[in-house]
Structure 1
Amino acid sequence: MDKSEIQKAIRRGLAPMGAPDPLTLAEWAAKHFYLSAESSYVEQAWEAYPFQVAVMNAISNDDIREVDWLKSARVGYTKIILAAMLYHAEHKRRNQAIWQPTDDDSDEFVKVELEPALRDVTVMRDVFPQYLARHKTNTLRQKKFVDSLLHTKGGKAAKNYRRISIDTGYLDEADAFDRDVEKEGDPFTLAKKRTEGATFPKMVVGSTPKLKGFSLIEDRAELADEFFRAHIRCPHCNEWITLTWGGRGEPHGFKWVNNDPDTAAHLCPECAGLFTQADYLTVWKTTRWISASGIWTDDGLRFFNRADELVPAPGHVAFHIWTAYSPQASWADIVREFLAAAEKAKAGDMSKMKTFVNTTRGEVWEEDVEKTDSDALEARAEAYPLRQVPMGGLVLVAGVDVQADRFEVVVWAVGRGEETWAVDYVQLRANPADESEWDKLDDYLLTAFPHAAGGMLQIEASAIDTGGHYTHQAYNFCRQRVRRKVFAVKGDSQQGKPVKGRSSTQDVNWRGKVIKRGVKLWLVGTDTAKDLLHGRLQIAHPGAGYIHFSKELPSTFYQQLTAEHRILAKTQSGDQYRWVKPSGRRNEVLDCTVYAMFCAQQLDLNKFTERMWQRLEEAVQPATGDMFSAPLPPPAAVVKPEAKPIVATKPTTTPKLASRLA
């Protein structure tokens, strides 16, 4: 063997011990990445568009912890995160996870995108020798590489965010995720917790935005340290400008002549010069990302201020781009799509215009939504004290929402024709993980409330939400109080489901013991209940269905009661109306009220006849009650939200509903 062969053999033997030359994601993809036939228009080696380079390098820049991409369709986001996953597995050897909106989405991503890439990007065979094998390390849920793991999961279930430790996490199509994953928190926070402890933690989140006020990716972008938009040099004046849609009468953006899409051109806001897509493609290699504060980058590695001075990379960056920047769609086709959507909109069908704004312009859609004005409800509040049942209130029901540090309770009095009065709203500070802390809730639910007619009323039925972290604690609490009509409930948001839905028996895991079929769990048709509540809140005058409020209720009560909006949403069954909660809003009061409405139906109050209401009134507020009853005891101290929990007084005798009707 000659000397050169010996040297080659030595280099081959030492290769596994050497560190590869550091590459950015853009450099690595240019060298190794490949577009597979299953998921690409053209099967070929990867060649990045100019606007993609900075985003790719920001993903591989260890100084940047979070990268968000608010985008339209056809700008390459899915390919970029696919390349990033392979890059972090082969080049940086880091543990990763990608969450798709559902398990089915995750499976499709693995089959259509990930597995063909692992097959065709040959450098991956060095770190993933099982790429063609049926092996426990090569499944739809996990890929085990040399020195690292990639988890592939759906985002609907809270369990999919547990028991993994990663360096890099990805969320694809973020606006399709639930805002609150099984009442355990938003998907970003749950995913980000999996990176705690990593030397170089990274979260990458991208999505086409959806509805204004409900867009998760818009929320993320607003939290970023810097929000960048792509700029190019105007072919005429050489100033940095963004490509914008503009609009009729706007001195910038897309313009065309006589409804002819083929005449589409872009009007520069600086020099008022028109340039075509062909002109754009002569300058697009100069793409620069510039934020509103003047921070800019060409490559996602180095960042500069307005004075062109080098500055540290922001820890959290967001990017926005839309279809006009991509050569995959012609400007004529963009205008053609808009004109078709505008024609539909004239006939009242806004669906195509909404799609155009979301998927072509990459912007949120602003839509009229059904909602109730919280200020208007507060303005009509009445001068009756909390924790005392007003005249007309005959039966007390309560809804309970279990939070990490408290129990939220709303008590309603129901009268003839389901006219209702808010009787109490409390937050009982507690740790629901501690069995003894549930005694605070138990004591409260045993409270006797004085009635304006002189008697005392107890809560006839209450419903406890079993979602979230404390399911089995809630199950056990309800299991032990069946005779007191304390119901375990869970929301069911499917359209058309009854307020009082079906029940099923559930096992209770308690103190290490499984109690088979230990508790009956009731489903609550939450959207149906919210429709009913929304309608009742519109009733302007006292009587059947009217809802009364006390002036002692805090403003947050009304804000939470009206937190959700009714919007038209696309579902697998077609367009349906859904109640959704805008960003940053709390809705515990609404949830509690829905559960109280369930209790009213459990007591069959919605089926009461005139005679039954009359008998109940005679028992609770007899006609002579105001003349001869003893003076009312003073109402118990009101427990405002955030205040110290009450200590309830247990009554000696309180006639229950059944005995009052007997």
Structure 2
Amino acid sequence: MSSSSSRISESRKRSSQKPAKDERLRRAWRRGLTPPPWINLPDWADRYRRLAKEAGSTSGKWRTSTVEVARGPMLAVTEPGVHVLTAMVCTQLLKTALLETIVGYHAHIKPVPMLLVQPKEAAAEQFSKERISPMIRATPVLRDLMGSRKSRSAEETLLYKGFPGGFLALAGAGSPDNLARRPVCITMYDEVDKYVLTREGDAIGLGDERQATFSEYLSVRVCSPTIEGESRIEASYLAGDQRQASVECPHCRHRNFIDFFRHVEWDKELDEAGNVIAHHPRTAKIYCEACGVGWDEGARLQALKTTRWHQTKAFLCCGKHQDPLAVYEEAWRRQGDSRPADPVLQTWDWWAGPRWAVYRARCQHCGKWPVDNEHASFTAGKLFSPWPKDAPPKQATKWLDMKDDPDQRVVFDNTQRGRPHRRATGKDLKAETLAARAETWPGEVPDGVGLITVGGDTQDDRVELEFVGWGTNEESWSLGYVVIEGDTSSFELWDRVDEQLLRTFRRADGRAFAVEAACIDSGGHRTNEVYAFAKARLGRKVWAIKGASEKSGQRAPIWPTVKPSTRKRSQYKPTVIGVNAAKDTIRARLEEVREPGPGFMHFHAKRELAWYEQLIVERRILKVMAGSRFTVWECPKGKANEALDCRVYAYAALQGLIHFGLRLNERTEDLATRFVAIAAPEMAPAAEDAWISRSGADGGESWL
């Protein structure tokens, strides 16, 4: 073929391809000018999002209807007027999924700069690897925009995900520089009750200040609550419009704002006096407050599909204080038998149909909406969860297992109900009340004790020791309290302290007990002396301790959870214990546990009233710093608190033994089934008399 013919052929090919290329360019140009479609968060997730296998128990297509209670918070992200969104909900319900979907939606539909804050930078990296990256890989529209984990460019790192028009930055709450480095439109704060104050202030305040240049900003805070009055997420929820979820009864269509203590019941066996002698939690059901019909699991799942959210914040309008929930309940009661299909409109208006699914509270006099929706806040418990492990029988079983332990009741309220735990006020806790329940027991050690620990408080002129016996589920007996007077810088005094720690105590049946662990306070002016005493007795588990610095209300573990150090004896350092957490537990048990059993504290009748006053002298004080609310324990000026300190240290010694492998319940049960006759039983009364005698006149030691 000639060169001329070849050029003509090539020209014809280009001519035939030109229209197709032009058409592609025109289509691309039209797509660039076309605004993104309006779509809300749950609709976007249902259409585009896919679940990764490694991110949970399910995979495949996302369906918001699976966990219908999540629809309300997701819709609030695009609800007109909302700039702050708070979700104070139970564990494993909607928090993480909400954050993930916000990231995916804005990366795909409405790209903006975003910041996601975790309590620590390590947690931010973990969240990126385990939640964000799998979502990107599993969701095609995000995979095309946000790259691959294999990429090592500046657009794709663990703490930075770039995409056209925006980015996602992840940071730890303890790094003020990362929080204040860049302007962002959306800030997301996960596990906010675990944030610590930085040298520049509160992490939420620092992050939200970076939104100043954006008009459509959004601040999202999610967490399970902790303690009422101290929880940061609770304070944020109360500052919002306090949305609560209701479900429709499958039988009478009454809307129930379901709560475990109000709506869940199960079969119980009663004695002739009407006291409960047995529980049957497997029969637990939700019971409608209107018709009284119990819902089986099928009915509960059917009811969950009708979940709707309501503004429930009380307000002042037309000169009247109004509580939407109270008004609703009163309207329901007034209707009697002539109830309409859905009486909820007596109190709320359904706003804008399914696009923004919220019943907004209106004044019953003028009909206006007095509650602003700028801050949409949500709360929900596990009764709204569709998963079988969260069904009422499972929750009832957990409650029965936890109800006798004040610490576990905190866990139940936080993780199951999604509500902050309300501590007992302690106003009715008096020294006389505690003294009135004092008791005596045969022998030095009563039945039920599995081991003995000691707590020691060091002063310049004395060392005070409490000997505490521990039984099943940390039931405790104050076996003895000794004051060893003398100069605590002298070897002679510490020899007498050691004599007390080496004592052998006997149960009425002759069973011998020795001190298994002791914690001695190393604070004050005798630090080196306590170090030397404890270092020489490490093999006997005599530990020098100091309280953690918790001035900002932090709750460190009672016994540190780090692995034991391998440092040499010459490098000895004390064990730092969480005194705030220990005092929380001790006070809760004194206030709330009134009957012998788990956590109950027994006292010997020989205790003096002053000892009880020292035990309860400290007060829980609420403080506010940089927007954070927290409580600390304070001792009134001029008051003594050695009895409380000794109990804290004895409890820390028990936690130290547990940390190193002690199984307290097994130990106690084993001792209850075995009899070891080391001394004759008739010796027990004499031993008891010796134990409670006072010998301060000749030896400087006073036994109480």
Q: TM-score, normalised by structure 2?
A: 0.52
Partner of 1:81: 99
Verify the 8 A CA contact 1:232 1:286 in the aligned structure 2: yes
Matched, 1:283 2:285: no
Asked if the contact 1:370/1:566 (under 8 Å) is kept, the reply is: no
Q: Contact conserved, 1:54 with 1:299, CA < 8 A, in 2?
A: no
- The residue type paired with residue 65 of structure 1 is H
Give the corresponding residue for 2:624.
585
Kept after mapping to 2: 8 A contact 1:338/1:356: no
| Structure 1 residues 417 and 154, CA gap change in structure 2 (3 angstroms) | same
Q: Does residue 1:234 correspond to 2:249, yes or no?
A: yes
> What's 2:182 paired with?
164
Number of the residue aligned with 2:220: 204
Q: 2:258 aligns with which of 202, 220, 243?
A: 243
Residue 425 of structure 1: aligned partner? none
**What is the deviation of 1:237?**
2.1
Partner residue of 1:256? 266
5+ residue gaps, structure 2, are 1-15, 269-278, 315-323, 325-347, 430-459, 463-519, 528-544, 564-576, 585-619, 636-704
Residue identity matched to 2:110: K
Render the CA deviation track for 1:311-346: whole Å, top value 9, x for unaligned: 5961001101111111114455x4345435534554
Q: Which of residues 36, 49, 55 is equivalent to 2:52?
A: 36
Matched-pair contact (CA < 8 Å) for 1:370–1:565: no
SS in 2 for 1:286: coil
Which of 380, 383, 390 is matched with 1:324 structurally? 383
Q: How has the CA–CA distance of structure 1 residues 310 and 212 changed in structure 2, closer, same or farther, with 3 Å as cutoff? A: closer
Q: Give, in angstroms, the shift of residue 114 of structure 1.
A: 0.6
Counterpart selection for 2:422 from 366, 383, 387: 366
- Given that 1:125 and 1:131 are in contact with CA atoms closer than 8 Å, whether structure 2 keeps it comes out as no
Displacement, 1:99? 0.3
Q: CA deviation at 1:126?
A: 4.0
Deviation for aligned residue 1:576: 3.5
Q: Is the partner of 1:327 in helix, strand or coil?
A: coil
In the alignment, residue 238 of structure 1 is paired with which amino acid?
A: R
For the 8 Å contact 1:69–1:205, the answer to whether it is kept is yes
Q: Which has the larger radius of gyration?
A: 2
Q: How does 1:128-139 map to 2 (within 5 A)?
A: 128-129=146-147, 132-139=150-157
- The alpha-carbon distance between structure 1 residues 223 and 125, as it changes in their structure 2 partners (threshold 3 A), is same
Structure ranking higher in helix proportion: 2
CA distance in structure 1 between the aligned counterparts of 2:60 and 2:290, rounded to whole angstroms: 39
Distance in structure 1 (CA, Å) of the matches to 2:579 and 2:360: 47
In structure 2, what residue type is equivalent to 1:163? R
- The answer on whether the counterparts of 2:381 and 2:416 sit within 8 Å (CA) in structure 1 is yes
CA distance in 2 between counterparts of 1:96 and 1:496 reads 48
Could you give the per-residue CA deviations for residues 511-548 of structure 1, whole angstroms, max 9, x where no partner exists? xxxxxxxxxxxxxx995578xxxxxxxxxxxxxxxxxx
The CA deviation string for residues 573-598 of structure 1, in whole angstroms up to 9 with x for no partner, is 5993337997653599x99x99xxxx
CA distance in 2, matches of 1:362, 1:585: 23
Preserved CA contact (<8 Å) 1:296 1:305: yes
Identity, % of aligned positions = 19
Aligned to 1:24: 40
Q: Distance in 1 between matches of 2:555 and 2:96?
A: 31
Q: 1:113 matched to which residue of 2?
A: 131
Q: Using a 3 Å threshold, how does the CA distance of structure 1 residues 175 and 13 change in structure 2: closer, same or farther?
A: same
Q: Secondary structure of 1:339's match?
A: helix
SS in 2 for 1:214: coil
Q: Does structure 2 retain, via aligned residues, the 8 Å contact 1:34–1:117?
A: yes
Measured after TM superposition, the shift of residue 81 of structure 1 is: 0.8
**Stretches of structure 1 lacking an aligned partner (at least 5 in a row):** 247-251, 374-415, 419-494, 503-524, 531-560, 595-662
Give 1:174-189 correspondences, 5 Å limit: 174-178=192-196, 180-182=197-199, 184-189=200-205
Distance 1:339 1:228 in 2: 28
| Of 396, 407, 411, the match for 1:355 | 411
SS of aligned partner of 2:624: coil
Q: 1:242 to 1:52 in 2, by over 3 A?
A: same
Cα offset, 1:77, TM superposition: 1.5
Q: Please report how far the alpha carbon of residue 121 of structure 1 lies from its aligned counterpart in structure 2 after TM superposition.
A: 1.2
* Structure 1 range deviating more: 1-10 or 167-176: 1-10
Asked if 1:14 corresponds to 2:16, the answer is no
Structure 1 counterpart of 2:578, one-letter code = Q
Partner of 1:68: helix, strand, or coil?
A: strand
TM-score in terms of structure 1 length = 0.55
Matched residues, number: 412
Q: Encode CA deviations 1:413-465: one digit per residue, 9 max, x unaligned.
A: xxx989xxxxxxxxxxxxxxxxxxxxxxxxxxxxxxxxxxxxxxxxxxxxxxx
C-alpha distance after superposition, 1:111-151 (max 9, x if no partner): 00011111111112443245541112211221111111211
Q: What residue is the counterpart of 1:472 in the other structure?
A: none
Contact kept, 8 Å, 1:303 with 1:310, in 2: the verdict is no
Q: How does 1:204-603 map to 2 (within 5 A)?
A: 204-224=220-240, 226-246=241-261, 252-258=262-268, 259-292=279-312, 293=314, 294=324, 295=348, 300=356, 304-306=360-362, 314-330=373-389, 332=391, 334-343=392-401, 345-346=403-404, 349-367=405-423, 527=547, 572-573=561-562, 576-578=578-580, 585=624
Partner of 2:127, secondary structure, is: helix
* 3-state SS, counterpart of residue 85 of structure 2: strand
The residue identity in structure 2 corresponding to 1:339 is T
Q: Return the offset for 1:262.
A: 3.0
CA contact (8 A) 1:103 1:154 kept: yes
**Contact 2:147 / 2:156 at 8 angstroms: preserved in 1?**
no
Following the alignment from structure 2 to structure 1, what is the Cα–Cα distance between the partners of residues 183 and 70?
A: 29
Q: Which amino acid aligns with 1:69?
A: A
Q: 1:109 to 1:14 in 2, by over 3 A?
A: same
| Contact 2:148 2:156 (C-alpha < 8 Å) held by counterparts | yes
Does the CA-based 8 Å contact 1:53-1:299 persist in structure 2? Answer: no
Q: SS at the partner of 1:127?
A: helix
Give, as a single letter, the amino acid of the residue that structure 2 aligns with 1:211. Answer: I
Seen in structure 2, the aligned counterparts of structure 1 residues 566 and 143 have a Cα distance that, compared at 3 Å, is: closer
